Amino acid sequence: SHFACPPPYPRAAAPVARQRARVDPIGSTSTMRFSLTTVVAASLACVAHATQTIVEYDELKATFRCIIAVPSATDPDPKQVKRREKLIKLTEAHVAAQQESLVEMEWAYMESDNAEFTRFFPNHVPVEEGEERPPHTTSDEVLVTPGIRFMNLATGDYMSPNWDILMHQYPDELKRLSKDFSRWVLQGDGLTRDDDGVMILHSKNLAEATDEYETVLANFYAPWCKYSQAMLPLVAEAHTELTKLYDQGLFVKVGVGNVNVDEEAELKDTHEITSYPTLKMVYDNDDGSVVSDTFEGSTDSAAEIVAHVASTVGGLTMIDSKDVASKYAKLIASIDTLLGDVESPTLVLGTYTAPSQVQTYTALAKKVVSGSRFMAATYDMQLATSLLKEVSGDKKVKAKKDMVYVYTKDNGVLSLKLPSYDDEFLLRWVSAASVPTVERFNPSTKQGDRMRSGPIGTILMLVGAESHPDFAKWKASITAVADARRGEANYLFADEKEPRIMGIVEAAQVKTFPAAILISMRGDFEPMIVEGKSEMTESKLNGLLDSALNAPLNPGTDEF
């Protein structure tokens, strides 16, 4: 539900923003391979003496080095000569400003006519006459894909950008790359955190993160992406709130970390990251490998991120003691407080007598647990009653065997007897019971996305003048039908003058109001209508549903 940055302009097919590869065959001779630990220790022991120097390419000796591609000194094109001079000047200014570095590094230039040039810079794209360039730029401003190669001869790793920048951006990009490279080569296998306590994740420590936490919420971000920058504070706030929940003993032990995709091409590819930012739930698979699932919740706020994490981690929660029931109720209450006016949590609770029903609930939880919707199950009716009372505040509710209960603030506690219905209907009923029985039409992304991705493929919408004295009666009719036939349709109402439903009204060829419009979101049938002529009764609405869905009226199920 958030905006995302695609791969950088102009090569949409570019695999990554910045490359990080292992076992670089260039410059990685056996005589140059020695312990990275030794290099790091030496660098940290003499921080004040770490230097950045420019040397001739043939005189490079340092373990850490950066090679800059420049046009040949013999190039007859005056534009290339000018570009060479500018690149050298900007690079020298950068190196002069980097004398207090954790990493001692040498810099050198490689001319475009060097025999090794294409091996060192396979992604380098020089500016050619007539080549399409970013808008509002001249040939002197454009580097296209610059030739920059940071190298670590101790490990054979290298970092080389493959995205397009402008000449005036070169100093800032070089500064950022230098900083990223220094931090990268000093990374160990241990977990490190930023100032907000969020883990800095990379290929060397992700396995340790999933060892310490059963699940890790990983934010794959690109530093240059404005949407990534907007996500970082939300992730930091989510980390703070998840830590509070865990400190209260409320089930949630989830690590939170950031992955810089500019540095971590390996992780980016492994976890199939195609836009930035992308949130993933990362965990250890049964075979010991680290795998991930896409975060399916809302990212509009930190509270919604936390709610989705808290509800989905662990899936179905088994309520087998008073302590677990109490903590689960407190978790839902904490999420309710955190969400505030954004939305309210939903509790789905299944009771059972036969162990085989646990499989039904486990399968159901995989489909319905999301966002702020929690699901639990228990064989103990006293625990079920206690949990329902504590979450709903309804002191009269009493749980019975083999029932599914759904609590929301809008609907109160609704229930469905099992095993009277198949798994498909159970899923549709729970989904419908989790939202208001009849909702006002709202062309928001959330309502539309929820209905499009949900298991209920139809919409029954009442359209009429809300100012009409009988509108409340019409709405009562659709509410009664929705109560009795929960799960058969998404039930909505709208004023006939609502401009955003005009397309629906015209498609259904509505002539008079009030009208009920039945729509298949999957195209199973053409829009169907019933026009009330000042009346909109339950029988008319039931007839409309029956004719389209060929489904008999389900007997009342919303009882304790």
Q: What is the DSSP track for 281-330?
A: EEEE-TTS-EEEEE--S--SSHHHHHHHHHHHTTSSEE--SHHHHHHHHH
Residue type, 210: T
Domains of the chain plus CATH, in order, are: 18-185 (3.40.30.10), 190-312 (3.40.30.10), 315-435 (3.40.30.10), 439-549 (3.40.30.10)
Please list the ranges in the chain whose pLDDT falls under 50: 1, 9-49, 551-560
Q: The whole model's pTM is what? A: 0.72
CA 23 to CA 411: how far, in whole Å? 60
Q: What's the length of the chain?
A: 560
CA–CA dist 281, 474 (Å, integer): 45
Q: What pLDDT, on the 0 to 100 scale, is given for residue 123?
A: 75
Question: In the prediction, which pLDDT does 535 show?
Answer: 83
Rounded-to-integer distance, Cα 471 and Cα 493, Å: 10
Q: How much is the pLDDT for 129?
A: 58
Dist. CA 555–CA 560, nearest whole Å? 14
| Beta carbons of 302 and 241 less than 8 angstroms apart | yes
Q: What whole-number distance in Å separates Cα of residue 298 and Cα of residue 523?
A: 27
Residue type, position 112, single letter: S
**pLDDT of 138:** 60
Structure tokens at 29: 């001779």
| pLDDT at residue 44 in the model | 36
Q: Which of 286, 256, 261, 262 has the alpha carbon at shortest distance from 271?
A: 261
What is the pLDDT, as a whole number, of residue 552? 42
- The Cα–Cα gap between 225 and 204 comes to 24
Q: What is the pLDDT of residue 140?
A: 60
Query: What pLDDT is attached to residue 26?
Result: 40
* DSSP E strands, 57-168: 64-70, 105-111, 142-144, 148-152, 157-161, 165-166
